[in-house]
Amino acid sequence: MKKAKISFLVLTAFILLAAFSRLIPHVPNFSPLGAIALFGAAHFYHKWHAFFIPVFATWLSDLIINNTIYSANYEGFVWFYPGFYWQYGSYILIVLFGLLLFKKITVFRTIGGIAMSTLVFFLVSNFGVWLSGTMYTKTIEGLITCYVAAIPFAKGTFYGSLIYTPILFGAYYLLQQKFTVLRTPKLRYN
Express each pLDDT in 81-124 by its tens digit.
Answer: 999 999 999 999 999 999 999 999 999 999 999 999 999 999 99
Q: Are 95 and 46 in contact (CB under 8 A)?
A: no
Instruction: State the fold for domain 3-182.
Output: Arp2/3 complex 21 kDa subunit ARPC3 (1.10.1760)
Domain regions of the chain by residue span:
3-182
- ∠ CA(161), CA(163), CA(167), 5° rounding? 105
Residue 60: what pLDDT? Answer: 97
For 142, the 3-state DSSP assignment is helix
Indicate the pTM of the whole model.
0.92
For 136, the 3-state DSSP assignment is coil
